[in-house]
Amino acid sequence: MLAIAGTAAPSMADVWQYRENAESSFHRSLDHLQRQRLSEHWRPPSAAELIARRVKFDPMIRALARRHGLDPDLVHAIVLVESAYDPIAVSKAGAIGLMQLMPATAERFGVIDATDPEQNIEAGVRYLKTLAVQFDRLELVLAAYNAGEDAVERFGRTVPPYPETQAYVDRLLTLLDRRDGLFD
């Protein structure tokens, strides 16, 4: 490696940074967020924090849901369950942001930065709309959002027998049935 006079040779950190900069911004932000999450002492938000987050994102959620013909309460319920309104939330599976978009879904809907609330919600709402057109019942839309549309199709257009997906669908249907209790 050639060093320029007066400067030190690049360290491994410099090489890593160069490699990181050469990757797509989407994967770079995912890697960064996963490292950040691992290094933080994460705790669930308090009820007051949830309410403040909901208020912050409410105008955006309402506008994007209405633009795509969806119930804003449905989007709010999904954001609550998926990320607790945390725009930089990253799941163990690699889902990112408010609506917990998987990298392939984010790419499918043209997301550049999955932690950007507007891009994330826009893509999540568009994906929900796609699922609503494909499936005729809300529980199937929710199951497909959680487990993927292929899983719903594979199990004969029913909620897949995955405990996580069944609990997810039940939780969301309960929240939507009790629209005044989204923070219980």
Cα angle 183, 116, 125; round to 5:
60
Whole-angstrom distance, CA of residue 129 vs CA of residue 126: 5
User: CA quadruple 132, 91, 178, 123: dihedral positive or negative?
Assistant: negative
- Of 126, 161, 125, 130, the residue nearest 143 (C-alpha): 161
23 included as an active-site residue: no
Distances (CA, A) of 23 to 26, 36, 40: 8, 18, 24
Distant-in-sequence, close-in-space partners of 124: CB < 8 Å, separation ≥ 6: 75, 78, 79, 98, 99, 100, 101
Distances (CA, A) of 41 to 37, 44, 50, 96, 182: 8, 10, 18, 18, 26
Active-site hit among 82, 107, 118, 122:
82
| Catalytic site positions | 82
